[in-house]
Structure formats: structure tokens, C-alpha cells
Amino acid sequence: MTLSIVIPTLGRESLKAALESCKDADEIVVVLDTSRGGTIPCDLPANAVLYEGSFGVRGGHAGRVYGLSKATGSHVAFFDDDDVYLPGAVDLMRTAAPDVPTIFRMDHYELGILWREPEIYFGNVSTQMYVVPNVPEKFGSWTPVNPDLPQPGGDCTFIKETVENFGGVVWREEVISILRPPSKTVGIVTPWHEHPELRPDYDAATSVRRIVDELWVMDGADGFSAPSNRGLHSATTDIVLFLNNDIWATDRTWLEKIRESVEPGVLVGAKLRTEPHTRVGDLELPYLDGWCLAGMRNDLLDLGGFDESFEEPAYYSDNDLCFRARLEGMTLREVRAGIHHKGGATTNANGWVLPQTDRNRARFLSKVDELMGVSA
């Protein structure tokens, strides 16, 4: 088995990473569309062959068709110039490829891990997830995408018709590629104790995380702050997102919006509070609700995470964390990302919340007095 990988490109810088990720292929067919004036931004590996011309840039389909006609391997895979294969993907495609098309899984920047179920339909399969035997007379058609059609064109139509012509397909569960890999990784940290009824909405919301992200569901029997801090220290990602279990999402891009908004010196959350209880004397101390609060992991570690001296369920610990962040010159940023809170579904039924909250407010006011030297 020999593997050719076809990559249409406009000459974007991201081509470097794409080429690096598939350098172990037997042949890389690079098709540069020059209609927008792009050039190859890097040296090509020795196993790459370059074709240049004006092929039509819509969806890259014309470049793929041309590159497919030039591929010499016994099997062909397809890629975009802003995506990457995971380590070991090329070897996996070599060893797994049979005499019918093979469809692997991939990490999509908006839709999460695809395929969802082993079916060929628009939004469930894409260019970067399949390998086909190089038998041109069995290839399907590759035309511009038109989502209004029953078969919307593009890679969906190509693979559906190709599978029909070969008379079969092999579905593989391994993830081989990342579409538009994120520049920053996210570790989601969630304390959890009981309440299994919250899991369906939580799982649906967090299923959109990228394969390079992490999910830390911590034993929350001791409350919120301590398990959140354990998750902060356990995570190895660029960003840590503290996320409650009583949430639901209305936008599949919610995590990407959070990811894009976090930067050094900035804490991000779904809700910036400026209500009366944020006032301390003459001071207005806005804060980000702790049910969805993210920052660069190093910033959060420097801040010391949540103050575990607050009594559980740790109301005012988010006020305190944001207050300390602002003292360090950090910015609080609200992002309406399409993630929502069920309003204390794990605590509101408990009669002891109110006195705990009152004591935590007193603790917070005392810290403000200590750190700023004001009367609170």
C-alpha cells in the first residue's frame, strides 16, 4: 500500500503545519491555486510534488479534483492547508486501508468529533477523514457545495458516490485529524457531587471540546473551591475553564468563543455581575460568575485559584478571585457565548445556603478591607 495525500492551497502560512503532519506519506500532491496571488510559504518536503494554476477556489474542490488526477499512490487521502493530522495518522491510514473506502474520525472546530454515527450525510463526513483506493473509474463527483440540494456537493457527494461505486465502506473510530487546530488549549474543570440528572445537558455542552482539550470532572463531595483548585493544578492546558455541572448550551461554538476571548491578563466569563451586592462601601467591585469563568492557567495559578477559606457552597469565592485579579491589573471580560446556568440547581434546595452566604460576604468584605485598606 502506498499513500498519496492531496492538499489544495492558496499559499496560507498554515500549510507549513499541514505538510509537517503528513510528511511520512509516500506522496504529497500540493495544488496551489494562484488566482489570488498566493505562493508556497515554505520549502516542500522531498516527497511532495507541486502543481500551480487557477483551479477555482470555492471550497477547494477543483484543486482536489486536479490533485486526485495526479496522485500515484495505491490509496489517496485528502487534506486542507489549515488542518493537521495527529501523530501516527499516516501509519494508521496505511495499515487500515482496505480495498474499499475507509472513514476515520476527525476533530471539527465547531461540531466536535465526527463522525457521530456511521452514516454518510452532510455535516457528518468531511475531506480530512477518509482514504480511498486509487481507482479513478469508481470515484464520485466533486462539485461545489450547495446545502440546498439533497446531496449538497463537495466531499459529502464525492464520498457517498465513491462508497456506492466500491460497494462498501469501513468505519473507523480513531481520530486522525484536527480541523483548524486551536492556538490555545482549554481544560474544563467541573466539581461534581450527585445530581446525575444534570449529565445529559452537561455532556452535550462539553462534547464540542477539541481533541487537544482536557475535561477534569472532580469529586465535589467537599464543595466547589477545593476540587476546582485540584483541577486547576491537574490541567496541562493553556486555559482553564471553571464550569458548573448545572449548565446547558444553545450555541455549539460557545467554547470557541470563550477560547478566543481568553488571553494573558484577562479573565473571561459568561456573566459579568454589577448588581448591588457587588458594592463595598463606595466601591463597585464587579465580578465574573464562577459557574463559567476562564483564564490562562498560569494567571490562575499566580492568583492562587479560589480561596478555600470561604464556606461551601463557596458563594463570594468568585467575587474574591475577580477582586484579586483586578488588583493585579487584570481585565474582566464578559462573553455571551451561548452557555447558560440553571441557577444553583445543586445548592438552592439546601436551607443552610443563606447563613453560609452571609458569613462568606463578611469574609469577602474583610479581605477587601485588608487588601485595600478601606472601611467595608
Q: What is the pLDDT of residues 321-355, one digit of tens each?
A: 999 999 999 999 999 999 999 976 565 545 456 78
Mean pLDDT of 240-248: 96
Ordered DSSP codes for 34-78? GGG-----SPPPTTEEEEEE----GGGHHHHHHHHHH--SSEEEE
Residue 280: per-residue pLDDT: 78
Average pLDDT over residues 286-304: 96
The fold of the 186-344 domain, in CATH, is Spore Coat Polysaccharide Biosynthesis Protein SpsA; Chain A (3.90.550)
Mean pLDDT within 353-358: 77
CA distance 118 to 23: 29
Asked whether the CA dihedral 158, 161, 165, 169 is positive or negative, the reply is: positive
pLDDT at 86: 95
- Reported confidence tier of residue 42, pLDDT bands at 50, 70, 90: very high
Q: What is the average pLDDT across 193-200?
A: 93
Instruction: Indicate the residue type of 112.
Output: G
Instruction: Give the whole-angstrom CA distance, residue 366 versus residue 322.
Output: 15
User: What per-residue confidence (pLDDT) applies to 279?
Assistant: 78
In the chain, % of residues over pLDDT 90: 67
Owner of C-alpha cell 472532580: 218
Q: What is the mean pLDDT of residues 158-175?
A: 94
Q: Is 151's pLDDT higher than 70? A: no
* Burial label, 270 (beta-carbon count in 10 A; 0-12, 13-18, 19+): buried
Is 331 within 8 Å of 266 (Cβ atoms)?
yes
162: buried, middle or exposed (CB in 10 Å: 19+, 13-18, 0-12)?
buried
Please tell me the predicted confidence (pLDDT) of residue 368.
85
**CATH assignment, 3-179:** 3.90.550.10
Confidence check: pLDDT of 375 > 50: no
Q: Give the amino acid at 142.
A: W
Cα Rg of the chain, angstroms: 25
Whole-number Å distance between alpha carbons of 68 and 66: 5
Is 58's pLDDT higher than 60? no
Where do you find CATH 3.90.550.10 in the chain? 3-179, 186-344
290 phi/psi in degrees, rounded to 5: -70, -10
